[in-house]
Amino acid sequence: MEETELPETDASTDTKDFTLQLDLQELEQLPELYEKLRDPIFSLKQTGITPKLYVDWKKAGLAPKTEEQAWTKLSFLEFLWLKMAKELRELGLPLARVKALREYLMNVQEIPADALTPELIAKLRDELSKTMPAKQVEALIAEHLSGQTQQAQANYGIQFSLLETLIYSALYRNQEAGVLIFPTGDLAPWLDEMQGMGPEAHLLLGRTHVFLSITQHLAAFILDEDKADYIPRLSLLSEEELQVVRAIRNKSFRQVTITFDERRQITLRTTSDGQLDERISKQLIETLALKNYQSVELENRGGSKLKFTKEHRRRI
């Protein structure tokens, strides 16, 4: 059946207050993150999308305009998008709506100089002062407020998309990240922190919508053992988290304890023959992928231990 194009809708009515912006410390990390997310390292076969469907999606504007399909190499950004597009098509979302979502997510995010409030500047000053001299901190803040940071971003050709911003929020700000898709055609980004934005946020959630979870797609990627070699390459987990995931998969530990809060924790132990409870093993890896923990303690067979909290994971 031929699908009809939907009329363009003005999403600004309900979503104008829901723009995402990066803080100063995150701006300093843009170049490395930008390169990692855009490095073409995945084959089309790894996406689970057939060559024929990929060609059809390119014609419909759902996939990037790449060269000869047999040699198609995709970045993590495009890999993740194709997985999300496949899910939405399976849910019955029309091609026109999926194309509109792609354009929305790939849209470049503007980071204005006035994005930093006095409260945020004070917080950043405190945080940055822990790792660099006061003069350097003030210089960085001054550069951003004067617009020099934005100019440097433009000079280096860095154009950070909304999807990249959401991926960053999911991985490094411990946020459930996704997109709200409304029947009217409106779209709105969603992060956990938006629940504290007042009645506007609750009004959005109260409307009928489809929620596309970017966090869950990231978790699925990390849980896929065939993609294990890409996790450190893309910095999807911290060094400590990665060490625990490897220990669980290799069964090289004696005990892993993950604490969620004061009342709940899960402990996983290997038996004498090295067997594990596969259900709990998967649950613990997913917990690390989704950052849904407070602390982790790993005890290796040799007796050495590793303990860390969510707040002290390594950043890019």
Give the helix/strand (H/E) hosting 245: helix 239-250
Task: Please give the angle made by the CA atoms of 4, 205 and 183, to the nearest 5 degrees.
Answer: 10
Distance CA 164, CA 52 (A): 27
Model confidence pLDDT, tens digit, residues 74-84: 999 999 999 99
Residues 229 and 206: their CA atoms lie apart, in Å, by: 41
pTM exceeding 0.75:
no
* DSSP assignments along 175-212, one per residue: ---EEEE-TTS-EEEE-GGGGGG-HHHHHHHHS--EEE
State the average pLDDT over residues 252-277.
87
Average pLDDT for 257-280: 86
State the average pLDDT for the chain: 78
pLDDT at site 115:
52
How many Å apart are CA 252 and CA 23, to the nearest integer? Answer: 39
> What does the pLDDT read at residue 312?
52
Nearest alpha-carbon partner for 171 in 129, 131, 217, 125 = 217
pLDDT per position as a tens digit, 275-296: 888 899 999 998 888 888 999 9
Tell me if 276 sits within 8 A of 268, measured CB to CB: yes
Cα dist from 270 to 242, 264, 280, whole Å: 18, 20, 11
pLDDT at 151: 54
For residue 129, report the phi and psi dihedrals to the nearest 5 degrees. Answer: -65, -20
Mean pLDDT on 97-101? 95
For 34, residues 6+ apart whose C-beta sits below 8 A from its C-beta are 158, 160, 164
Name the band, by pLDDT with cuts 50, 70 and 90, for residue 15. very low
Position 45 pLDDT exceeds 50: yes
194 falls in which pLDDT band (50, 70, 90)?
confident
CB atoms within 10 A of CB 166: 23
The percentage of the chain sitting over the pLDDT mark of 70, rounded to a whole number, equals 71
Residue type, 75: S
Q: Are 69 and 102 in contact (CB under 8 A)?
A: no
CA 174 distance to own-chain centroid? 9
The letter for the amino acid at 294 is Q
Query: Could you tell me which residue, 273 or 296, shows the higher pLDDT?
Result: 296
Q: What is the pLDDT of residue 313?
A: 47
Strands 265-269 and 305-309: unpaired
- Average of per-residue pLDDT across 163-176: 79
pLDDT of amino acid 13: 38
Mean pLDDT on 191-206: 74
Strands 295-300 and 305-309: antiparallel
Report yes or no: 251 and 296 within 8 Å, Cβ to Cβ.
no
Q: What is the pLDDT of residue 62?
A: 92
Both structure tokens of 137 = 């901190």
